[in-house]
Amino acid sequence: MNVIVANDYKEMSQTASQMIEEQITEKPDSVLGLATGGTPLGTYHELIKGYHEGRADYSLLSTINLDEYVGLAPEHPQSYRHFMDQHLFRLINIDLENTHIPFGKTEDLEQECSRYEKVIDQIGPPDLQLLGIGENGHIGFNEPGTSFDSETHIVHLTDSTREANARFFESMEDVPTKAITMGIRSILKSRKIILLASGERKAEAILQLIQWELDEQFPASSLKSHDDITLIVDKDAYKKVQRKG
Ligand code: F6R
């Protein structure tokens, strides 16, 4: 595992965006795996800036997002489709037809999961997958206990994950209880993976990621079986590792 420790959130975001831009320059029709949440926002901001400065052309790019809340329509302000459109896709020259996110408002969840896994196999796997990490070690919405063999599936969100995401909703009751997520096996198909973490809130998860062996109780540990992982963390997220070292 390659580890890059950035001074702060901005430097972490710039480092990640540079790696993404290099990937797109090298292969303009790359497939990017993308995440939502607070952590990648700075990276998306840097990519938009780079687009305006002529550093990358997204016209041939395809994207596959990790997850979506069950029950939220694409136009719902808290849906991940809306998040991606608002924070990245509508601000660069990507063809929206080439952006893929599970459809959370489906009547048939099982069918949506198998449709999405087919999308991953037909369009992907991603050349480069961007990940955040939950405080409990989740990646995508793969909570502790998820099989490392899992493909796209439905998850019941844990209370801690719902609480962590409640900040985006008006009240706790509005936070969905289920989500569709790419499975661990689907994520590990990616050729290259970048995991981002920022802030002290993530320090324990990063310490566990570095220390733990493969263990389904800590989903991010599955990344240890992949041969091209780059961890880009800021100093606060790396604090506990440095203290141990
Ligand atoms: C989002 C996702 C999640 C987040 C994780 C961290 O698509 O897959 O695994 O990456 O919950 O979220 P933030 O970045 O908000 O701390």
Q: pLDDT tens digits, residue range 49-95?
A: 999 999 999 999 999 999 999 999 999 999 999 999 999 999 999 99
On the question of pLDDT at 150 being above 90, the answer is yes
Query: Are residues 62 and 126 in contact, defined by beta-carbon separation less than 8 angstroms?
Result: no
For atom 8 of ligand 1, which residue has the closest CA? 140
* Residue 229 near ligand 1, beta carbon < 6 Å: no
pLDDT at residue 245 tops 80: no
Reported as a single tens digit per residue, the pLDDT across 2-52 is: 999 999 999 999 999 999 999 999 999 999 999 999 999 999 999 999 999
pTM above 0.85, yes or no: yes
138 part of the active site: yes
Distance 142 CA to ligand 1 centre (A): 10
The residue from 46, 100, 127, 136 that is catalytic is: 136
Q: How far apart are the first and last CA of the chain?
A: 16
Q: Read off the DSSP letter of residue 10.
A: H
Q: Is 153 a catalytic residue?
A: no
In 10 A of CB 125, how many CB atoms?
16
pLDDT digits (tens, 9 = 90+) for 213-240: 999 999 999 999 999 999 999 999 999 9
What mean pLDDT is predicted for residues 110-123?
97
Instruction: Count other Cβ atoms within 10 Å, centred on residue 6.
Output: 20
pLDDT of residue 233: 98
- H-helix or E-strand containing 114? helix 109-123
Shortest-distance atom of ligand 1 to CA 34 = 7
Please determine, for residue 164, whether its predicted confidence score (pLDDT) is greater than 90. no
